[in-house]
C-alpha cells in the first residue's frame, strides 16, 4: 500500500546556502540583463524615430523577431546552435545574458519609443526656439520626461526578467532554479524544494514590485 505523503520542511535546512547563492546569481543576472536592455532599447527607440527608413525597418524587424521567439528556444539556439554554426562557444552565463538582454531590449525599445512620443512637441519646440541645440533639447527636456513616462513599464519589465532568469537553468547557469534541481538530485524531495522555490520567487517579485511602486511615487512627486 502506498504511504501517505508528508511534507517535511526540515529537509530544506541543509540547503539554505544553495538558495542564497542562487538568489545572488538571479539578481545579478537580472540587473545585468536590464542594463543591456536599457542601453540597446534606447538606441533602438532613437533609431525607430529616425528619418532614415532603413533604420526604422531594422528596428521593426528586430522587435518582431525577438518578441516572437520564446526565450527558452532562443537560449537553446544560442548556447547549442552557435558552436555548430560558427564555432563560437559561449559560457552559460554569457549566453544567458545575451539572450535575456537582447530579448528584453525589444520590449524596452517599445517602451522608450512610446515614451518619446509622449513628450509634448510644444516643449521641444519651445526649447529649440530659445536657442538650445537638438542634443541639449534631448538631454534637458526630452530625456527627463521620457524617463518618467518609461519608469512604470520598465519596472514591470525588470520584474518580468527576474522571473525569466529561471529559464537559464536549462543551459546550466547556477541560479535559484538550477541550485534547487541540484538539491533535489541529492534527496529526491522535489515537492518541498519546488515549494520553497515558488515562495522565494513570490517574495522576490513582491519586494521588487513594492520597490518599483515606491520609486514611481517618489519620481512623480519630484517631477512636479
Mean of all residue pLDDT scores within the chain: 87
- CATH number, domain of 167, equals 1.10.3720.10
Residue 130 lies in a domain: no
Nearest to 36 by CA among 100, 93, 90: 100
**C-alpha separations of 184 from 7, 10, 101 in Å:** 14, 14, 29
Nearest to 148 by CA among 202, 224, 94, 219: 219
Residue 136 lies in a domain: no
89 burial via Cβ count (<10 Å: 0-12, 13-18, 19+)? exposed
pLDDT at 223 (0 to 100): 42
Which comes out higher in pLDDT, residue 78 or 5?
Answer: 78
Q: Would you say residue 57 has pLDDT above 90?
A: yes
- Tracing cell 532562443 back to the chain, one arrives at 74
pLDDT at 222 (0 to 100): 47
Domain count, the chain: 1
What sign does the CA torsion over 24, 27, 31, 36 have?
positive
Give the whole-angstrom CA distance, residue 91 versus residue 103: 18
Residues in the chain: 224
pLDDT tens track for 197-213? 999 999 999 998 888 88
Read off the pTM: 0.86
CB atoms within 10 A of CB 64: 11
- Which domain range does residue 24 map to? 14-119+152-223
How wide is the angle at C-alpha 100 spanned by C-alphas 98 and 102, nearest 5°? 60
Residue 131 lies in a domain: no
Least confident of 121-125, 153-157, 174-178: 121-125
Residue 137 lies in a domain: no
Could you tell me which residues come within 8 angstroms of residue 11 by beta carbon, excluding any fewer than 6 positions away?
187, 189, 192, 193
Residue 135 lies in a domain: no
CB atoms within 10 A of CB 143: 15
pLDDT tens track for 113-150? 998 888 777 777 677 777 677 777 777 777 888 888 88
Q: Would you say residue 32 has pLDDT above 60?
A: yes
Give the whole-angstrom CA distance, residue 214 versus residue 176: 26
The stretch 52-69 carries a mean pLDDT of 93
Phi/psi of residue 174, nearest 5 degrees: -85, 80
pLDDT at 3 (0 to 100): 60
Residue 196 lies in a domain: yes
Residue 125 lies in a domain: no
pLDDT at 135 (0 to 100): 72
Residue 210 lies in a domain: yes
CA 66 to chain centre: 13
Amino acid at each position: 500500500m502506498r504511504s501517505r505523503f508528508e511534507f517535511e520542511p526540515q529537509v530544506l535546512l541543509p540547503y539554505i546556502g544553495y538558495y542564497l547563492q542562487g538568489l545572488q546569481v538571479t539578481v545579478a543576472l537580472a540587473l545585468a540583463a536590464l542594463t543591456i536592455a536599457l542601453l540597446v532599447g534606447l538606441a533602438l527607440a532613437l533609431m525607430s524615430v529616425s528619418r532614415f527608413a532603413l533604420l526604422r525597418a531594422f528596428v521593426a524587424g528586430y522587435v518582431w523577431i525577438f518578441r516572437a521567439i520564446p526565450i527558452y528556444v532562443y537560449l537553446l539556439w544560442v548556447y547549442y546552435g552557435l558552436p555548430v554554426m560558427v564555432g563560437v562557444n559561449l559560457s552559460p552565463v554569457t549566453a544567458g545574458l545575451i539572450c535575456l538582454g537582447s530579448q528584453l531590449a525589444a520590449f524596452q525599445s517599445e517602451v522608450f519609443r512610446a515614451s518619446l512620443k509622449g513628450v509634448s512637441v510644444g516643449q521641444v519646440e519651445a526649447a529649440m526656439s530659445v536657442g538650445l541645440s537638438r542634443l541639449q533639447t534631448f538631454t534637458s527636456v526630452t530625456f527627463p520626461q521620457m524617463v518618467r513616462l518609461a519608469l512604470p513599464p520598465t519596472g514591470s519589465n525588470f520584474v518580468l526578467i527576474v522571473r525569466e532568469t529561471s529559464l537559464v537553468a536549462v543551459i546550466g547557469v547556477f541560479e535559484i532554479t538550477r541550485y534547487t534541481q541540484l538539491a533535489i538530485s541529492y534527496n529526491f524531495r522535489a515537492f518541498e524544494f519546488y515549494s520553497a522555490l515558488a515562495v522565494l520567487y513570490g517574495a522576490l517579485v513582491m519586494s521588487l514590485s513594492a520597490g518599483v511602486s515606491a520609486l514611481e511615487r517618489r519620481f512623480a512627486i519630484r517631477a512636479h
